[in-house]
Structure 1
């Protein structure tokens, strides 16, 4: 079983869209069993699959952090389609972050997420667990990061891209120096456009990746208006527009991810 955190300190770079289409392609094309976990208080991932979800009445990521719910881990999952399950998000995740810091419970709550992953792996209950994380390090995103084998960093090529990669590397290194298990990190270039500026930034980013030891996937995701349209309809790109530039690119990227990049990181 592989566990992947989709994360970037910067918002608006396509983390949720990446999680949705990664999960869909794994289920649809690779016949994998996937659990999606919404770690964001905005609940965009949850609303995509279950528009009328009531976080006050159902099991959520907050419940997992707090140790609530059914004793059997799989009984807490919300099935959204064949071979695809969800742990929904909740607006209370914002409060959870504050309380975790104030009460010093970060390590306890982080361990609960790791235990959930361990149970799913031990029971062979899933092939992938994918965490959709909010911008920055929160109690939920930190727990997801430390429970993951890999972290995928979607990144739009702009003037802050290289700085963002360096910052992420520094934060991961800080966690490792603190004695915590740090997952392998990879960058996914998102919303790529055929412009001279984008090409220059991409070159800089790929050169910097060798220095900071965070590989960049060869496959990029081209900018496409079909992406925001698909989020409105509540359909992954493989359903809404499989032949769109982004639809084709996501399938090619998952093929690359499926094979693994095989880079060592320190």
Structure 2
């Protein structure tokens, strides 16, 4: 299945998340069946990242957004488990600080965008400033509408500079969210993740869904597309995201750069030195 085509939101498409099944797993009936495909995608991603790092011409920005407990942390952990950490940077944009509030809303974001050869992952992103701020009525419609345009311009600038942008909305159901909250309450290893705010924000579910739909529709472009990933099944989420990223990087036709030295000359000198050392050893 072509997940890029299946889950991509076309520019201007009228998105209705309630019409998209968050439990969809395609032809894969279980994690065991999908395991081989997932490992293949992760290995391909690792290979492409190595080329990206070596070629040093392109960069990749991954944007992850979701409702609370949607699986952003888990996606990073599992999808990028095989990549070289030297070439990956993760940034998270939550409540802005006072210095950040004193600037335009994108000021705090730009320093975290990837340089050539790098992958940056935004675990929550600049989209928080058209989601949380909207739902909590910190900005009006004119402001979030203007910010949509500014986000598109910002992302277009990154694309023109050689950055591939892939944006993922991890789509879970309201029931799945509640089940994950319950797991966090019962699992000592996850207790630290739960907060009172998780439940108060849950009461605003419909408002968040509407904000996500509008933001995705307004900012999914040919150059910086959004993908809505069914994420009730964590294993399918990992498969779909890893495959989309690996395939998008393969589309860049990355390659190792040519050597900067004369390999033939180095080989000649090395072989001559090695031969002399062996010969000298025999003479001794």
- Which range, TM-score by smaller chain? 0.3 to 0.5
Which protein, 1 or 2, shows the higher relative CO under an 8 Å CA cutoff with sep ≥ 6? 2
Higher helix residue share: 2
TM-score, normalization by structure 2? 0.36
TM-score (norm. length: structure 1): 0.38
Whichever of the two has the greater Rg, that structure is: 2
